[in-house]
Chains A and B, each alone.
Chain A
Amino acid sequence: DAGVTQSPTHLIKTRGQQVTLRCSPKSGHDTVSWYQQALGQGPQFIFQYYEEEERQRGNFPDRFSGHQFPNYSSELNVNALLLGDSALYLCASSLVARTDTQYFGPGTRLTVL
Chain B
Amino acid sequence: AQSVTQLGSHVSVSEGALVLLRCNYSSSVPPYLFWYVQYPNQGLQLLLKYTTGATLVKGINGFEAEFKKSETSFHLTKPSAHMSDAAEYFCAVISGNNNDMRFGAGTRLTVKP
Whether A99 contacts B99 in the complex (CB less than 8 A), given A42-B90, A42-B105, comes out as yes
**Which among A40, A42, A104 is the interface contact of B43 at CB below 8 angstroms?**
A104
Q: Which residues of B contact A76 (CB under 8 A)?
A: none
- The digit string for B68-106, where 1 denotes a CB below 8 A from any CB of A, is 000000000000000000000010101000111111111
Q: How many A-B residue pairs have CB under 8 A?
A: 55
Whether A4 contacts B102 in the complex (CB less than 8 A), given A43-B90, A99-B94, A100-B32, comes out as no
Q: How many angstroms from the CA of A92 to the CA of B42 in the assembled complex?
A: 13
Report if B61 contacts A (CB, 8 A): no
Q: Which residues of B contact A33 (CB under 8 A)?
A: 99, 101
Whether A56 contacts B43 in the complex (CB less than 8 A), given A42-B90, A100-B32, comes out as no
Residue of A nearest to B32 (CB): A100
Report if A44 contacts B (CB, 8 A): yes
Q: Which residues of A contact B44 (CB under 8 A)?
A: 43, 90, 92, 104
Interface of B is mostly: strand
Q: Which residues of A contact B98 (CB under 8 A)?
A: 56
Residue of A nearest to B90 (CB): A42
Q: How many angstroms from the CA of A17 to the CA of B34 in the assembled complex?
A: 36
Contact assessment for A42 and B103 in the assembled complex, using a CB-CB cutoff below 8 Å = yes
Residue of B nearest to A91 (CB): B43
Contact assessment for B43 and A90 in the assembled complex, using a CB-CB cutoff below 8 Å = yes
Report if B14 contacts A (CB, 8 A): no
Give the A-binding residues of B (Cβ under 8 A). Answer: 4, 32, 34, 36, 41-46, 49, 51, 90, 92, 94, 98-106
Known: A40-B105, A58-B100, A99-B94. 14 other contacts (CB 8 A): A35-B103, A41-B105, A42-B4, A42-B92, A42-B103, A42-B105, A43-B44, A43-B90, A44-B103, A55-B99, A90-B44, A99-B99, A100-B94, A104-B43
